[in-house]
Chains A and B, each alone.
Chain A
Amino acid sequence: MTSIPVPVEAPPAPPAPARRVRRRRPERKGWLFVAPFLVVFALVFLAPIAYAVWLSLFREQVFFGGTEFVGLDNYAAVLGDAKFWESFLRVLVFLVVQVPVMLLLALVAALAIDSARLHASGFFRVVIFLPYAVPGVVAALMWGFIYGDNFGLAADLNDLLGRQAVAPLSADWILPSIGNVVTWEFVGYNMLIFYSALKVVPGDLYEAAAIDGAGTMRTILSVKLPAIRGAVVIATIFSIIGSFQLFNEPNILRTLAPNVISTFYTPNMYAYNLSFAGQQYDYSATVAIVMGVITAIIAYVVQLRGSRKGV
């Protein structure tokens, strides 16, 4: 979860040249505004991708130093790497469980806040969004302490019940525990995406639905949900990308539960540890590329399915 994108609808296609008014020179000056962005963009987006692809074609020589061109061998190695697949399956399980739970909670909250039936709805909106402003590191440290045996709420709960009722940092619980941290951090952010989309649903639609005798449930299913489909698709894509990139939370909780969270717990942790503990930069770059391609494909498929249903 390195970069947090601003929640918005799917990008608009560049407007067709509707007005064929003959325009003078100034149009070309648009480059003046766009060029600085593109220069930096090339440096921090395009160049690293090209460099990663280049690196992934080589392998470090163990004894002689230097590198050797190995073609696609690194890719073959990643695809046959049990550690890679273990970490991949783990984030896939995480994705399949955590993302729907989080998005459903966010949707319910957004519908409730938008329903005009909630007392102090503005207060709810701001407070539920608040964890987004908490750095992921602080959220993970905070929950890690709360989960812990030393002075956490989990320990208090066990004391209260007089037995080891919850053990959030044990092997069986750690993945749901991480899921809880991520949900806590981002449910409000997704709520806000949905809420912003609900806000701009035209009032006529509600009026029409009310005249047709639609109840609350009916209005939600037939008017509100279809109207915010774009926002749901975008939020789903962001959440999928976030899940595949899972790093901060497990990496920080690892200091509290080193025996439960391995160095290849998620693909991103695997790539990181290959680079910084193992010095296997070429292999690490390959893992990163493979994950990037898988993520992009899944995000693309979700986008296609999401927009096709809209037709």
Chain B
Amino acid sequence: MSTVRTPPSPFLRPRKSVVLTILMSLFLVYTLVPLAWLLISATKTQPALFGTPGLAFGDSFALFDNIAETFTHDGGIFLRWLGNTLLYVVVGAGGATVLATAAGYGLAKYRFPGRRAVFAVLLGAIAIPGTALAVPTFLMFSELGLTNTPWAIIIPSLISPFGLYLVWVYAVEAVPDEVIEAARIDGAGEVRIFLTVTLRLLLPGVVTVALFAVVSTWNNYFLPLIMLSEPDWYPLTVGLNQWSAQASGVGAQPIYHLVITGSVLTIIPLVAAFLLLQRFWQSGLSAGSVKQ
């Protein structure tokens, strides 16, 4: 509670506080130490992992050997998992963004009959935990012959009630009715107005929805774990855990260094995306909370 102890100063132009900065730095340490450990460990050979302290480098810098081995181990299965994850992300999260954007815009800008019913159903859906859905979804997909196919992962990823909600709220603010009216007077059809006029105005909101959809698809674990028994269709998350589980049990062949290097490789794309798209998602989120 450091913020409350700082000495009184003119509130609107407060001075920077060194004490507060130091206290918050503890937060940074908590956040970064595990990641630092992971990065350092990825540079070690397996014997060095066991032989050196966690936050010290090993004798040799084995990062590139580890990366090469990660990609070639077991016939290059890691590359396959990476490809699967990309497939699920591009089609699943991409589709989720498209569906949520269109629906959010439709709900925000058209007063069509049945709108309130849609609203009520969505609100109910938000309260339903994924737990209640996962097992029944598996059983249903298994009846339909969809388990063990990419569709079992992609179809459930297509729905993001919160993505829809965010676009909805964003569209109310960002797309003036006058713009749509003007386009109609010019004779543009509804779909064309959406594609050529409003989509551009919605962009920060759409990027935010896309980013969060990408994260949840990329990080998806429970759903593929249930749906897939064929390692060839695994995404990175399930594959990595399978590698980790190899270390225990009868005839175990631990490949900790590959699990760790694979983990680093799994994290990097998302961290990069968040850092590069900061401007977009931070403004998109703020807009989302404007509405009280």
Distance to closest chain A CB from B115 (angstroms): 6
B215 touches A288 (CB 8 A): no
A135 touches B135 (CB 8 A): no
Q: Is the interface of B mostly helix, strand, loop or mixed?
A: helix
Q: Which of B164-183 contact A (CB under 8 A)?
A: 164-166, 168-169, 172
Known contacts A41-B159, A267-B131: A119-B34 contact under CB 8 Å: no
Interface centre among A45, A197, A207, A241 (most CB of B within 10 A): A45
Q: Is the interface of A mostly helix, strand, loop or mixed?
A: helix
A31 touches B164 (CB 8 A): no
B267 touches A133 (CB 8 A): yes
Bound complex: CA A156 to CA B53 (Å)? 6
A124 touches B28 (CB 8 A): yes
The segment out of B62-70, B71-79, B137-145 that lies at the interface is B137-145
Interface residues on B, range: 35 or more
With a cutoff of 8 Å between Cβ atoms, the chain A residues found around residue B291 in the complex are 8-9, 12
Q: Does A200 contact B (CB under 8 A)?
A: yes
With a cutoff of 8 Å between Cβ atoms, the chain B residues found around residue A132 in the complex are 215
Interface string of B32-60 (1 = CB under 8 A from A): 11110110010000000110011100000
Q: Which of A223-263 contact B (CB under 8 A)?
A: 230-231, 241, 244-245, 247-248, 252, 255-256, 258
Write the residues of chain B forming the contact surface with A, with a CB cutoff of 8 angstroms. Answer: 1-4, 6, 8, 10-12, 14-18, 20-21, 23-24, 27-28, 30-35, 37-38, 41, 49-50, 53-55, 99-100, 102-103, 105-107, 109-116, 118-119, 121-123, 125-140, 155-156, 158-166, 168-169, 172, 184, 190-191, 194, 208-209, 212, 215-216, 218-223, 226, 236-238, 240-241, 244-245, 247-248, 256, 259-260, 263, 266-267, 270-271, 273-275, 278, 282, 285-286, 288-292
Additional 5 contacts, C-beta under 8 A, given A33-B107, A255-B244, A285-B135: A8-B169, A8-B291, A55-B136, A109-B24, A136-B219
> What are some 25 contacts across the A-B interface (CB < 8 A)?
A4-B216, A6-B212, A28-B112, A29-B190, A34-B102, A34-B107, A36-B102, A44-B133, A44-B137, A109-B27, A112-B3, A115-B3, A115-B20, A126-B274, A131-B35, A134-B271, A136-B221, A137-B238, A141-B259, A207-B12, A230-B289, A248-B221, A289-B132, A291-B132, A292-B131
